[in-house]
């Protein structure tokens, strides 16, 4: 049986966004059953957890007889290849799908996270105002480039939904939450098309259900012994 990790609780702006939804989504798409190990801050900082996820983050994916995988992108690619679903057979299109999964994580997500950091984690208004224009402009540039690359295609690669679209749509959730898609109607309709899937809806509602039945205290932030110290 596959086990993935997920946070017990997250702040309201992050409910439905925590990256275990990507592992849940692909596992739902291929109809592989899995259980969820719920994690708090002490778990994340523990040696036991760091042996499986060196950065103390969710998700990881564990399965008897296989190496524990971390990085949501690796989990999504691994499951799709093994299940032979949402990824084309060996060949040009498969290579392009992998390029786009990495592009979502490496060429789009960091730019969106820079904006998220300003809006959610920077608490000094002066600092926010100083940093916001540059990070928003850089994110806008990447979104425009993505929009151009997508053109009038329905999907990033070929004529069917693949894990390239799964990952890009997931990453674009950060942009949508920050209203960065308001000037990109093509990306909004692309993302809506990608998210209109039962496997996605179940992934997010399962994650939200966990978060809603816990509270901040369940994360034991005050008890954590920093593994990074």
Ligand X SMILES: N[C@@H](CCC(=O)N[C@@H](CS)C(=O)NCC(=O)O)C(=O)O
Q: What angle do CA 5, 10, 12 make, to 5 degrees?
A: 140
Q: Find the residue with minimal CB distance to ligand X.
A: 57
Name the minimum Å distance from CB 105 to ligand X.
6
Angle between helices 163-177 and 109-116 (to 10 degrees): 20
Residue number, 62 or 71, with CB nearest to ligand X: 71
| Residue 85: strand, helix, or coil | coil
Counting every residue, how long is the chain? 229
Residue number, 160 or 209, with CB nearest to ligand X: 209
Binding residues for ligand X, per CB under 6 A?
Answer: 18-19, 44, 56-58, 71-73
Distance CA 25, CA 71 (A): 14
CB 41 within 8 A of CB 219: yes
C-alpha atoms less than 13 angstroms from C-alpha of 224 in its C-beta half-sphere: 20
Name the minimum Å distance from CB 92 to ligand X.
26
Name the minimum Å distance from CB 56 to ligand X.
5
Name the minimum Å distance from CB 176 to ligand X.
16
Residue number, 9 or 155, with CB nearest to ligand X: 9
Residue number, 28 or 57, with CB nearest to ligand X: 57
């Amino acid at each position: 049986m596959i086990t993935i990790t997920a946070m017990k609780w997250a702040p309201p702006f992050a409910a439905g966004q925590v990256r275990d939804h990507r592992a849940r989504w692909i596992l739902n798409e291929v109809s592989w059953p899995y259980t969820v190990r719920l994690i708090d801050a002490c778990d994340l900082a523990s040696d036991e957890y760091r042996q499986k996820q060196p950065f103390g983050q969710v998700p990881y994916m564990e399965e008897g007889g296989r190496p524990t995988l971390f990085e949501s992108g690796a989990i999504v690619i691994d499951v799709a290849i093994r299940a032979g679903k949402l990824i084309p057979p060996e060949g040009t299109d498969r290579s392009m799908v992998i390029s786009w999964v990495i592009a979502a994580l490496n060429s789009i997500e960091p730019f969106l996270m820079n904006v998220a950091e300003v809006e959610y984690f920077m608490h000094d208004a002066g600092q926010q105002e100083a940093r916001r224009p540059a990070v928003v402009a850089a994110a806008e540039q990447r979104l425009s480039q993505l929009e151009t690359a997508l053109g009038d295609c329905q999907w990033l690669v070929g004529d069917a939904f693949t894990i390239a679209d799964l990952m890009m749509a997931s990453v674009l959730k950060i942009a949508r939450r920050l209203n960065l898609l308001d000037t990109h109607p093509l990306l909004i309709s692309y993302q809506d098309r990608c998210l209109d899937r039962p496997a996605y809806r179940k992934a997010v509602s399962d994650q939200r259900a966990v978060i809603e039945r816990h509270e901040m205290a369940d994360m034991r932030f005050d008890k954590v012994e920093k593994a990074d110290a």
